[in-house]
Structure 1
């Protein structure tokens, strides 16, 4: 099931949404280049969210008198931002960007450009923090825009609960067009993540353990609903708040 468009008219061009899509594509191409050079594993370990690394530097900073320890916290914490623009497979980035393209423009329309930029980054950062708190000793990195996009979907459904989504069902060489309620894709968003291992890049260490991201993305969904309601600039007549 591939979403391709919605039936919500946009009042403004979603330039921030296009900006996020462009960054994700550019960095994924960089990852592919690093994979060819055999340097991708180190890159992901450094720029992905590794809960054990974050927990260790935070513990050192809180237990010691060394101001430099807080600088280390700042450096390592930058992974909370960078990780949301990295992906581990072709299927993960394709799925994420399709949902971002379809649902993000409506949310940007409601929030406005600046607030949408802040909304997306805050949701991604908070979801990353939840992943660290859920398993602080885990040495496996988390990467992907999944948490931020779950928030975008939550904000979209809050404002456009009756929207219809144009989608296609791929059947080998035949593509069947259909129109489905937006709420269906809340369910489909979680189902499709089972297939995110398809087309994986060659990363020596494991990434994105399945048992943790699923429920943290649920928290991302809730964050999107809460923040969208607080930050809304233009409330559509279809909104359920």
Structure 2
């Protein structure tokens, strides 16, 4: 299922959401045009590499400062490829504006960052010996989805389902669409730790961590008065 848009009205311009999207896109393009060796170095420096913190000796061997915890934040603005970027930005475009609308700009920014950090922390907890960088905004965006799940459960998400050469469009309740999404993340995450030899190229635990953080914390970020 490919989400196209939602039906929840938004009463203010989501400046923070748009700015975060622009920042991710600009950083991605900049990383694409620099030399590969520099791109590789920056990805390992600013991406969250779990083994870097689990094994200081390994970090020192590769010239990575083991006490550089800023990567838990900077990794949220890096992406591994065009599909990774486009998918994250699509979900951000569809769901983040309504959450920013209810929280206000400043509170939404803090909420987004807190969810992103929670996502990276859970990924580190369940996979502390991973040697590749965990990058992407999906953990923070999962926090947005967690808030949307409870704030707009019966709004409709318009999804495209390609069947052979005939794309079909459906209106699905947000609670069903996001419920299916979180079940998929849970299934993939548990499979990654229960079964040996399972190839993991997606930070499933980061998605779960972000969603849980968003679902638990959103109520503390809602503003009391409409923002003018």
TM over 0.5: yes
SS at 1:39 equivalent = helix
CA distance in 1, matches of 2:184, 2:38: 31
Does the aligned pair in 2 maintain the 1:6–1:164 contact within 8 Å? Answer: yes
Equivalent residue for 1:40?
A: 39
* 1:94-150, Cα deviation, whole Å (9 max, x unpaired): 111111111101111111111000000111112112222223333221111121111
Question: Is residue 2:227 matched to residue 1:232?
Answer: no
CA contact (8 A) 2:53 2:66 kept: no
Helix, strand or coil at the partner of 1:77: coil
Residue 91 of structure 1 deviates from its aligned partner by 1.4
Question: Which residue of 2 is the match for residue 3 of structure 1?
Answer: 3
Kindly indicate whether the alpha-carbon contact (under 8 Å) linking 1:190 and 1:214 is maintained by their aligned counterparts in 2. no
- Cα distance change on mapping 1:180 and 1:168 into 2, 3 Å: same
- Matched with 1:26 is 26
Q: Which shows bigger deviation, 38-47 or 157-166? A: 38-47
SS in structure 2 opposite 1:223?
helix
Quick check: 1:84–1:148 contact (8 Å CA) kept in 2?
A: yes
Gaps of 5+ in 2: 57-64, 186-198
* Structure with more contact order per residue of length (Cα contacts < 8 Å, sep ≥ 6): 1
Aligned to 2:194: none
- Once residues 184 and 95 of structure 1 are traced to their aligned partners in structure 2, the CA distance between those partners, rounded to angstroms, is 19
Aligned pair count?
207
TM-score using structure 2 length: 0.79
RMSD between superposed Cα atoms in Å: 2.9
Aligned pair 1:101/2:100, yes or no? no
Answer whether contact 2:121 2:206 (CA < 8 A) is retained. no
> What is the TM-score normalised by the length of structure 1?
0.75
Aligned partners of 1:4 and 1:78: how far apart in 2? Answer: 34
Which runs of no fewer than 5 residues in structure 1 stay unpaired? 58-70, 193-208, 237-241
1:1-241 correspondence to structure 2 within 5 Å: 1-34=1-34, 37-56=36-55, 73=67, 76-170=68-162, 175-186=167-178, 187-188=180-181, 210=200, 213-234=203-224
CA contact 1:164–1:182 (8 Å) conserved in 2: yes
Secondary structure at the aligned position of 1:144 is classed as coil
Aligned residue number for residue 189 of structure 2: none
Assess if the C-alpha contact under 8 Å between 1:159 and 1:235 holds in 2: no
